[in-house]
Amino acid sequence: MTKILVTGGAGYIGSVVVDMLVSNDIGEVFIVDNLSTGHKEAVNKKAKFFEADLTDSEALKIIFNEVKPEIVMHFAGLSQVGESNKEPEKYHRNNVFGGECLLKAMVANGCKKIVFSSSAAVYGEPMEIPISEMHALKPISVYGETKVLFEEMLDNFDSVHGLKSICLRYFNAGGSSENGQFGEMHEPESHLIPNVLKAAKNGSEFKLFGDNYETKDGTCVRDYIHVVDLAKAHLLAAKYLLSGGQSDTINLGTGKGFSVKEIVEICKDVTGKNFNIKIEDRRAGDPAVLVASNEKAGKLFQWKPEKSIKEIVESAWGMG
Ligand SMILES: NC(=O)c1ccc[n+]([C@@H]2O[C@H](COP(=O)([O-])OP(=O)(O)OC[C@H]3O[C@@H](n4cnc5c(N)ncnc54)[C@H](O)[C@@H]3O)[C@@H](O)[C@H]2O)c1
């Protein structure tokens, strides 16, 4: 069986991918996670868990020697946009230096395939919608910058060491795993759907940041992608690399945009709950519209998102 090392496998998206790999007997799965934002209880028990930090090269050396993975899926990272702008050094150390330590450990152990969790944050304020992979990279947050820097590092490691990578630029992930066991548990939670559902559950006020954008109803428009569709794309990306595929960069989104107000209405409909909305000022660094072109993923992997926005909200509500 293929040995797959998953960094950040105790986090939201990583735990769903680990569960899919293990449940479908796709490989022997090993996890490296420092539990800084992840949850040990979210890890499928059939995967072997190593509690370690990616910036700890000695720990990585021991893990790589023991596991000898054929491929790495790299989810580990800090991803709070606001925090990244306040504490840039923390983000550079974790996401860039930590990534560098990982790549060095891979090369030292002859592991030359990696699937990386990049982000739509690499594009910044988009110049055209839908956003294709050819769009200029102009991140407007330190978080987005760290993703661009690591993508560049991957390019360099390919040129020098022949390390092949697929960078998956996710748009907004949502929903839970197919068995409903693994879902979003960020603390603090900055993502829209869990925050709207929290207001529905507690009958509390929902804070909506900005209703004067140039969009259909004045609120921000985003492309929401079900975590199960994301997970399937990871399996296809890994298969592509394991069968000799070249390095590439792929958007993962549905190509459809929903405004904050539309999401609120869908959440009210799914939960049957009502709650108050308080309009607040815009948050710095929130582009008006982010919608992916997902043509390339279709062409390269025959990947197509299958789940609707309603299914995303329903499965996230099932978690609550
Ligand atoms: N959730 C989204 O909508 C979204 C969108 C775009 C990109 N991404 C990217 O996808 C990846 C996974 O996101 P998520 O939402 O599952 O986040 P998450 O915070 O739930 O998971 C990240 C995991 O990585 C671990 N980790 C962080 N730094 C580490 C380090 N130095 N060493 C070892 N483990 C470490 C954490 O403990 C956690 O388990 C991240 O890289 C994120 O930037 C997520």
**Ligand 1 atom, smallest distance to 118 CA:** 7
How much is the pLDDT for 188?
75
Span 149-162, pLDDT tens digits: 999 999 999 999 99
Task: Pick the catalytic residue from 12, 91, 123, 143.
Answer: 143
Mean pLDDT of 15-39: 95
Q: Is 98 in the pocket of ligand 1 (CB under 6 A)?
A: yes
How much is the pLDDT for 123?
97
Going along the chain from its start, the domains and CATH numbers come out as 3-174+224-252 (3.40.50.720), 192-222+255-319 (3.90.25.10)
Best residue for ligand 1 mutational test, from 18, 30, 37, 166 (most atoms within 8 Å of Cβ): 37
Beta-carbon contacts of 296 under 8 Å, excluding residues fewer than 6 positions away, are 132, 133, 248, 250, 251
Q: Is 183 in the pocket of ligand 1 (CB under 6 A)?
A: no
Max CA-CA distance within the chain? 57
Q: Is 192 in the pocket of ligand 1 (CB under 6 A)?
A: no
* pLDDT(92) > 80: yes
Best residue for ligand 1 mutational test, from 87, 116, 117, 224 (most atoms within 8 Å of Cβ): 117
Span 266-301, pLDDT tens digits: 999 999 999 999 999 998 878 999 999 999 999 999
* pLDDT(178) > 90: no
Alpha-helical (H) ranges within the chain are 12-23, 57-67, 81-86, 88-91, 98-108, 142-161, 192-202, 227-242, 260-271, 295-301, 309-319
If one compares 183 and 117, the residue with the highest pLDDT of the two is 117
Mean pLDDT of 41-51: 95
Mean pLDDT of 40-61: 96
How much is the pLDDT for 319?
63
**Residue 160 burial class via C-beta count within 10 angstroms: exposed 0-12, middle 13-18, buried 19 and up:** exposed
If pLDDT is split at 50, 70 and 90, which confidence band does 320 have? low
Q: Is 182 in the pocket of ligand 1 (CB under 6 A)?
A: no
